[in-house]
Structure 1
Amino acid sequence: MGVLSHPTHHRVIKPITHSKRPNIVSLDEDLDIFEANHGNASKILDKHHTLTLKDSLFTHNQQKGSPQLLPEDKPMYLHFVCLWITQRISSKDECFLYSKQESLTSSQRLFLMDSMLCSYYKQIFMYEDISEGDYKSEHYNCVIDVLSKFWPYRFDLINLWNAPSEKITILDESGNFKQVTVAEILNQINFEVYKNIHGPVFKEALRIRVRRAANHFKSAEKYLFELRNDHGRLVVIRVDLCLPAEHKNIDVPELKAYFHCFTQKMRRSRLLKLNGYIWKLECGYAKSFHYHLIIFLCGRKHSHDIKLAQMIGEMWDKTVGGKNCYFNCHSTKHLKHYKDIVVGRLEQNDHNKYDRLLNVVIRYFCKKDQFIMHKSIVNKKTFDTGRTRFTRRNLGRPANI
């Protein structure tokens, strides 16, 4: 395996490409534009829903004193470290870890460019098992594909980690043994990860997430528009549904059977006039699988949204055989954090509230999929809406008369 000699300059200039994919807009950029008009309302949602259910959506924050919620599951933590490596390399745009600098005491000495990034690599080499476990992420593939090439030398690297000028004997691609320094090996690792990050496979995986989120938002926007025209006044209910501790390890088909039974109960309940709903299935390391749910009830039949949300949550408890397996987003303690409240009664002509509902709450639902996904929900439907009157009328085979 060939090891790079250090170049005269540690940066690599990215090629300028003029071709861009049409109609691919980052949802994060849209949120930034919306926040400029409506304040920080969208950030509150991430704080209260994502962190309450402990989704796997955390990024590494290096500011001192900022709390971090990290998974105890080792394979999942490994995915997080790979994410931090790719984020660090992308933000710093550094393709090498060590550079050579002139010194007064000696001709040259090695200088570590990014100690934090170097510590991430060391964390992975300290692992005895680097299998992906029950999870998948393109960040893991991007990093581990490179590190696996140097895995036979992990003990030598760990022992000499703080001595970058020491040499290790490795087998190169031509089958010959050669001695290279620890710094050269780490530079080679970081450079290959850098190339993977800027390669077509990794970039396309990120584009797929953006396209999927954009398609979800487009279908939800159309669904909300049809609900608004069909029913006029609505009552918006927002709840998060999780599983009891004894059911955390159930498989996805069984979970979806529970959810199907729950939605059937809502449709058939005499106490609820259900007009529609939007749901998103996610997997977090603390709450396991859980649903984010928006429910639309008839505004002419209902008005007390707090009690309605509690009733719906208790309906879910009975379905899964648990207690307090839901989060009521209508409580007074929760709503006091919001600048603009979008739950509760929604009049047909309240354009501002519809705009906030669509661009804050529903856009949160349609956010880019978690960077780490449980293998059981890969290529499975994790987002859907109910069916409007027009859609239901056109379901099924046409009758032959």
Structure 2
Amino acid sequence: MYQNVQFQYNPYDQLYHEAEVLAGVDHFIQEVCLGGYDLYHQNLMIDLQKLVQSFKPIYNADFSYCNSVLIFIDVVKIIDYTLSLMPQANYESIVCFDEMTVWHILTYIQSLSGCIQQQLIEHQQRELKNQQSLFDYASALIHHYARTLVVRVDLSIKKEYQALYNIQAFNQALEVLHRRIADQDTCFSGLHGYAWALEHGISKGYHCHLLLMYDGNIHQQGFKMGQWVGECWEQITHGCGYIFNCNHPDYMDTYEAMGTLGIGMIHRHDENKLNNFLNYVVPYLVNAEKEQQHPRVKDEPNMRSFGKGQINAKNRRGL
């Protein structure tokens, strides 16, 4: 696959937000590989034209992309070459490609379906590994302290501002948040442990699931702490951030009625709530079955999509 494409990138020329476009590209390539599009599909070239036109402004040669996007980059090269042979052609001309060119594009994508399958397998393996690591970490903490206040929030960007937040901008905001957590100041004081997972949704764009485990002797109000964290996120994102507070009373009442409530104040000897926390709350943070939520792009090769705190062995009983 080609990786030296020289598209022109202008960060101020984004008609679509990056997360939405890349999710669309990923879906399109997967659909072609699964047979959702064929040579005579009515919307094949219309959909492809729209994706190409929206992909060009958000492409960044310095970013690392997943396999499906790399395949699409190759498709764009084929399209650019084809257009160069057509007099006075532009991207509107994509819908006029002859049958042989369309067949060439489809067969090229389908020939690389193994790369898409490998992408899915790697995502599932990575999530299962992270899930086990988080389970061990959270289990050790929740059983160690007499009572723990568990707070769950989802951090994202308001819909109207998502075009301003590509993966680099969102990741920079997360790094500021991580430093605040590490410093344990303001809304992160009295924190025993934490974990976070970055996801890439189709409608929500880039978002972060955040799990916070506070000292239950210092903090008792989960909803209030969640709101405080939300204010911190809004400050970091200069008012563009959006937060969903899972500790809202109505939300917690729903799960309590279902018998699956695993957030809020948890006492060490409350087996029911402990089990709910470990079997429902923790696995959701890194869920291997959420196949369409994996990040499709990294702003740097070592960018992480999951992280957690560390247990200080000096403060652990029996170690």
TM-score (normalizing by structure 2): 0.69
* Contact in 2 for aligned 1:124/1:130 (Cα 8 Å): no
Q: Which has the higher contact order (CA 8 A, sep 6+)?
A: 2
The Cα RMSD (Å) is: 4.2
Question: 2-side partners of 1:384 and 1:185: how far apart?
Answer: 45
- Of the three residues 140, 148, 151, the one matched with 1:234 is 148
Equivalent AA in structure 2 for residue 375 of structure 1: K
Residue 128 of structure 2 corresponds to 214
State whether structure 2 residue 80 is matched by structure 1 residue 151: yes
State whether structure 2 residue 251 is matched by structure 1 residue 348: no
- Cα pair distance change 1:128/1:138, threshold 3 Å: closer
Equivalent AA in structure 2 for residue 119 of structure 1: I
Residue 376 of structure 1 corresponds to 299
Residue 313 of structure 2 corresponds to 390
Residue 362 of structure 1 corresponds to 282
- What SS does the aligned partner of 1:115 have? coil
- Of the three residues 97, 101, 121, the one matched with 1:185 is 101
Equivalent AA in structure 2 for residue 304 of structure 1: Q
- Of the three residues 292, 305, 323, the one matched with 2:209 is 292
1:164-203 CA-partner distances (Å, limit 9, x unpaired): 8xxxxxxxxxxxxxxxxx22221221111111113xx443
- Cα pair distance change 1:357/1:116, threshold 3 Å: farther
**Deviation, structure 1 residue 276:** 1.4
Residue 120 of structure 1 corresponds to 47
Equivalent AA in structure 2 for residue 345 of structure 1: M
- Cα pair distance change 1:267/1:358, threshold 3 Å: farther
TM-score (normalizing by structure 1): 0.57
Number of equivalences: 285
**Deviation, structure 1 residue 255:** 4.7
Question: 1-side partners of 2:187 and 2:93: how far apart?
Answer: 66
Question: 2-side partners of 1:76 and 1:268: how far apart?
Answer: 29
What does 1:164-313 align with in structure 2 at a 5 Å threshold?
A: 182-198=98-114, 201-241=115-155, 250=169, 252=171, 255-266=174-185, 273-282=190-199, 291-313=208-230
**Deviation, structure 1 residue 236:** 0.9
* Contact in 2 for aligned 1:238/1:329 (Cα 8 Å): yes
- Rg comparison, structure with higher value: 1
* Structure 1 unpaired stretches of 5+: 1-70, 99-111, 165-181, 394-401
**Deviation, structure 1 residue 367:** 3.4
* Structure 2 unpaired stretches of 5+: 1-13, 84-88
Identical pairs, percent = 19
**Deviation, structure 1 residue 382:** 3.0
1:251-286 CA-partner distances (Å, limit 9, x unpaired): 8467524431344234997xx543211122456799
- Of the three residues 73, 85, 94, the one matched with 2:28 is 85
